[in-house]
Amino acid sequence: MTDLINVYCDESCHLLNDRQGIMVLGALWCPTVEVRRISRRIGDLKRKHGLRLRHAMPDGRVDPGFESKWTKVSPGKPEFYVDLVDLFFDESCIQFRALIVADKSRLDHTEFRQTHDDWYYKIYFQLIQPIIRPEKRYRIFLDIKDTRSAEKVQKLREVLANANYDFDRSIVKDIQTVRSD
């Protein structure tokens, strides 16, 4: 078993005024050495259910294929989602953690002298910090939120490093934004 862990984070309904009362942030993590094998298993499930796979296009762009997300669950493909959930329960190397904000209308950023954006990254800290074990090494991937997130992501890495006495940045080896698809 490797000491390098990939942590994949995403959120749902993170905008303050999106008319959605609830917000969820999730993190899924597993040893880096298992990522390719698990990705192949997910690809096999997509093939089994006739869903598009990720592939490179002739112009160099990447077609993400069918992105597995809750908004895509339809009466036509429930078996795929059942198989996908079964895969995650079958794979003991995959871990999951989520934070739920039950009512965003109750957030009072003024009281804490912060913006919603500041709060968003504080909540990501609350999601990720309990996952970190000092004897392991981590690469963390956050969904791209906007074009100005690089500075906030680096601040999140700094705060995670300080919280884990990781002054040489050896525990959290990398934290970066990626397109979730």
Q: What CATH code is carried by the domain that includes residue 80?
A: 3.30.420
Please name which of 37, 32, 1 lies closest in space to residue 138, comparing C-alpha atoms: 32
Overall average pLDDT of the 13-22 stretch: 58
Whether 180 contacts 146, CB under 8 Å: no
| Alpha helix ranges (H) inside the chain | 32-48, 78-90, 116-128, 149-163
Overall average pLDDT of the 67-95 stretch: 81
Per residue in 89-118, pLDDT (tens digit) is: 999 999 999 998 877 777 676 787 877 677
Tell me the sheet residues that pair with 25.
11, 99
Range with lowest mean pLDDT among 6-10, 135-139, 145-149: 145-149
pLDDT for residue 27:
95
Q: Please state, in angstroms and rounded to a whole number, the distance separating the CA atoms of residues 92 and 100.
A: 24
Write down the residue that tokens 């004897």 correspond to.
Answer: 135
Q: Enter the pTM of the model.
A: 0.82
DSSP state string for 37-74: HHHHHHHHHHHHTTPPPPEE-TTS-EE------GGG--
Q: Which of 6-15, 16-25, 166-175 has the highest mean pLDDT?
A: 166-175
In total, how many domains does the chain have? 1
Q: Please state, in angstroms and rounded to a whole number, the distance separating the CA atoms of residues 129 and 126.
A: 6
Domain that holds residue 70: 4-178
Residue 106, classed as helix, strand or coil, is helix
